[in-house]
């Protein structure tokens, strides 16, 4: 099947991002597996969102994660049971429940983030300088298009 000339560049870009996303997911999976917690990748994503955006209602977390509210509630139940998330009542409306990272949850996110940064630093350090510069610009634009919070605004830095 031939690609039209107009679609070839976007198809090539999609292929490149798909390949890079597999490599990035592998880094995340290795970093998560190296810590002594039984946390799935979807649960880790929830922890990251809570780390980025702070305490929020499970319904808001569900929206951010693009899952149903019941799925987010079950995920929060599991994370609370593991001691990684805490529930509290909003001061302005005692009926409203919010979830936030616990100290242990923050420590897990911090440790996995440190491991990810170290592995990514090694991988990126092996690239030629011009490729690193181009990659940084492209990835910043991609993350912004995806609505991600920039890393220095929330993450633990070395």
pLDDT digits (tens, 9 = 90+) for 83-114: 999 998 767 776 788 999 999 999 999 999 99
d(C-alpha 110, C-alpha 38), whole Å: 16
- Band of the pLDDT at 36, cuts 50, 70, 90? confident
Residue 157 has pLDDT above 90, yes or no: no
Nearest alpha carbon to residue 86 among 71, 100, 97:
100
Number of domains observed in the structure of the chain: 1
Would 51 be classed as within a structural domain? yes
**Can you tell me the mean pLDDT for 132-143?**
91
Would 158 be classed as within a structural domain? no
Would 97 be classed as within a structural domain? yes
- Band of the pLDDT at 153, cuts 50, 70, 90? low
pLDDT at 152: 61
Q: 31 and 81 in contact (C-beta within 8 Å)?
A: no
Structural domain span for residue 74? 8-144
For residue range 60-77, what is the model confidence (pLDDT) as tens digits?
Answer: 999 999 999 999 999 999
pTM for the predicted model, two decimal places: 0.78
Would 126 be classed as within a structural domain? yes
**Can you tell me the mean pLDDT for 49-69?**
93
Would 129 be classed as within a structural domain? yes
pLDDT at 90: 66
- Band of the pLDDT at 9, cuts 50, 70, 90? confident
Query: Domain containing 47 — which CATH number?
Result: 1.10.10.10
Would 154 be classed as within a structural domain? no
pLDDT at 62: 96
Would 87 be classed as within a structural domain? yes
**Can you tell me the mean pLDDT for 11-34?**
92
Place of tokens 């994660």: 65
Which contiguous run of DSSP H or E holds residue 100? strand 93-101
Would 64 be classed as within a structural domain? yes
């Amino acid at each position: 099947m031939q690609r039209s000339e107009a679609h070839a560049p976007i198809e090539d870009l999609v292929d490149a991002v798909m390949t890079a996303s597999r490599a990035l997911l592998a880094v995340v999976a290795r970093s998560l597996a190296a810590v002594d917690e039984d946390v799935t990748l979807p649960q880790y994503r929830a922890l990251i969102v809570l780390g980025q955006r702070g305490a929020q209602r499970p319904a808001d977390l569900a929206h951010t994660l693009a899952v149903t509210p019941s799925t987010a509630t079950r995920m929060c139940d599991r994370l609370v049971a593991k001691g990684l998330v805490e529930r509290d009542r909003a001061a302005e409306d005692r009926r409203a429940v919010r979830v936030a990272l616990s100290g242990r949850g923050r420590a897990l996110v911090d440790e996995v983030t440190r491991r990810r940064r170290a592995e990514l630093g090694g991988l990126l350090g092996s690239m030629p300088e011009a490729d690193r510069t181009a990659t940084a610009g492209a990835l910043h634009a991609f993350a912004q298009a995806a609505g991600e919070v920039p890393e220095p605004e929330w993450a633990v830095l070395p």
